[in-house]
A and B are shown apart, each in its own frame.
Chain A
Amino acid sequence: MERAPSAVAFASGPRLRRVLLLAPAVLFLLVFFVMPLLSDMARSVAPLQGGTKLTLHRYVAFLSDPFYLWVTAETLIVSSVVTVISILIGYPVAYLLVRKAGRWSGLIVFMLIAPLMTSIIMRTFGWQVLFARQGLVNEWLVQDLHILSARLRWFGSPGLAIAALVHVLVPFAVLSIASVLQGVDKRLEEGAMMLGASPLRTFWEVTLPLTFDGIGTGAILVFMIANGSFVTFVLLGGGFQTLPLMIYQQFNTTRDFDLASTMSTILLVIAVACLWLQLRLVRRKGT
């Protein structure tokens, strides 16, 4: 039986079909991602009270205030530190997972993912219990091992929040690196060693460069999640301020939505810059 001409044209037009298949996702993103973002940006340049003209005043005020610049810098520094530590811990684990684990790889992947199955609040609270002034770690250091004479206060600095974030984010680094490492042809490493390179040199000059893409992807992923992290800093930051905390404060305490939008847009620009970096890394690999 012949189909109606319109249906044939519709079904056979691959371009139209692609557009229609993409439409729900595009529509969803437009309504729930792009439009709120645009609204947020519009709010950040909205006229000041009593004014009628759009203004960049809030950006100028934010970017010329050493306090806000310092908060932004601290947010970036802490995220960078979390990223570097996560990659340093994650790479050997990924290497072990892909090259050495064999039949244990499933178990390792499970152990990596298992912590992600519990709520971040529970995990963060676990850190609180362990590192409290009267907590288990101080108990060991002071009473059991006699390494310290007085209990340490861990909550007054960002150190504990960094450790907790690394705990949460290392799996992202491992999985990103492992997926690329899996694609590295083992014969290249064997070839290098047959030509006299030591295992260390083989790793340094063959394996590592071939996994830069995985490192880059993992780093960007970890950095961006750390950059927007909220709960960990609220519970473990000890008064340490980051940009997401300041945004929350503008919504919750001062209700200065315009300033919150300005801060959100600045945080967004940082995230977009990170994505751009990632794209550059991927393209460089492709050339």
Chain B
Amino acid sequence: MKELTRRGFLGTGATAMGLWGLGARPLFAADKTLNVTAYGGVWEKAIRTCFVAPFEQKTGAKATVALGGPSQWLAQVEANPEHPPLDVLIMTPDLAVTAAQKGLMDDFTVEKLPNLKDIPKKFTDACLGKGTYFDYGVGGITYDKRKVKNPPKGFKEFVDRVSKGEFVASVPSISYAPAPIFFIWAMNHALGGTVENADPFFDAMKKMKSNLVFWAGPNDFFNDLASGEADLGIYFDGRTWNYVDQGVKWIDFINPEEGGAMTAVAVQKPVHASDLAWDYLNEMLAAQNQSKFADILNYGVTNTQVKYSTKLAPRVTPIDKTLMPPYADLAKVRNAWVDRWNREVGH
């Protein structure tokens, strides 16, 4: 058997290190490569088709798409803010505020982003000027038409009827990051609560608890309905319409009469990210690209020049029919709400 010699060992080691080094090079983004982010599934497809493709065509640069979630992406930027591994972040509105407050994100101005002029200013203000919303959905009531002939019109009716055992409802679990906003805040608001006083929501949960199941991720909700575990639940408009388009004709969506929470998707650029990010972001805010994006995802978009297709127009809840949560205030109470949920609902 061949024996290991010092020369052999060092040679093999050097080759391995060299190969590793070569392999690692793309991580330190080349000048003409942008690292952008997307949720998985149809989202990724829409991001590639509607934003990455026009960006690459116009700039000649390449964009790689990192899949994951806002919390993970923000942690990556926090770990290395001087050399962020990502150039464009998709964020939940509350995390966008957190990131802005920590000084990790760049200012959004019309000078850098000409298409920002068509985005309502309140969406940029909601990100403290360091980002904006480009897409939104509404959290409301999705129900199985075969079982629920007379669905609740709003959150109050939902709570009453679920508490009485008329339905089993599938609601988001606290492990689903946006739950404190589109579920806790929206229902609490509808029941007369405030950011400072979430008692109405937690009292309602106690009443409903024996008739609730919890979904941890958006796909679980559909499984709950499809498997017959739940009759209705709290879900998003766009995702409901996606299922309808896939041939699931037995579900429908209601925007609660008290108003569903606008669940926006923010976009931000880390301070030291590549300047190419501005070109990409400008594509994300362009009316024609957002229009295509909306058509694929069935969600509303924020550019005021967008004309929705005839299929989508009746489905999208107009911005003025949604409630915009006070994200900055919610960021302050979110952890306390999560802790209270754990203690009062989680068991």
Contacts and interface: CB of A to CB of B under 8 A. Distances in A.
Interface of A: 6-7, 10-11, 17, 20-21, 67, 70, 125, 128-129, 132-135, 153, 155-156, 234-235, 238-241, 245-246, 248-249, 251-257
B178 to A, nearest CB: 9
B6 A7 contact: yes
Given A135-B228, A234-B216, A238-B213, A11 B4 contact: yes
9 contacts: A17-B4, A133-B229, A234-B173, A234-B216, A239-B212, A246-B342, A253-B177, A253-B180, A254-B335
Contacts of B5: 7, 10-11
A252 B346 contact: no
A255 B175 contact: no
Contact of B175 (A238, A245, A256): A245
Given A133-B228, A253-B180, A20 B346 contact: no
A256 B229 contact: no
B116 to A, nearest CB: 28
Contacts of B223: 125, 128
A251 B73 CA distance: 12
A132 B228 contact: yes
A156 B71 contact: no
A119 B339 CA distance: 32
A151 to B, nearest CB: 9
Interface of B: 3-7, 9, 69, 71, 74-75, 95, 98, 168, 173-177, 179-180, 210, 212-214, 216, 220, 223-224, 227-230, 334-335, 338-339, 342-343, 345-347
B119 to A, nearest CB: 27
Contacts of B227: 128-129, 132, 134-135
A3 B247 CA distance: 75
Contacts, number: 92
A251 B71 CA distance: 7
Given A249-B174, A253-B175, A67 B343 contact: yes
Given A67-B343, A125-B223, A253-B179, A11 B3 contact: yes
Contacts of B75: 251, 255, 257
A132 B346 contact: no
Contacts of B175: 234, 245, 248-249, 252-253
Contact of B228 (A134, A156, A257): A134
A241 B342 contact: yes
Contacts of B4: 10-11, 17, 20-21
A121 to B, nearest CB: 10
Contacts of B216: 234-235
A239 B346 contact: yes
Tell which of A235, A245, A254, A257 has the most Cβ of chain B within 10 Å.
Answer: A254
Nearest to B5: A7
A245 B175 CA distance: 8
A21 B13 CA distance: 12
A129 B225 CA distance: 11
B173 A239 contact: yes
Contact of B98 (A134, A153, A255): A255
A155 B229 contact: yes
A17 B223 CA distance: 56
A67 B173 CA distance: 18
Given A17-B4, A238-B214, A132 B9 contact: no
A6 B228 contact: no
A254 B228 contact: no
A129 B168 CA distance: 16
Tell which of B9, B179, B227 has the most Cβ of chain A within 10 Å.
Answer: B227
Tell which of A6, A10, A21, A239 has the most Cβ of chain B within 10 Å.
Answer: A239
B254 to A, nearest CB: 22
Contacts of A132: 224, 227-229
Nearest to B335: A254
A241 B344 CA distance: 11
A73 B327 CA distance: 36
A65 to B, nearest CB: 10
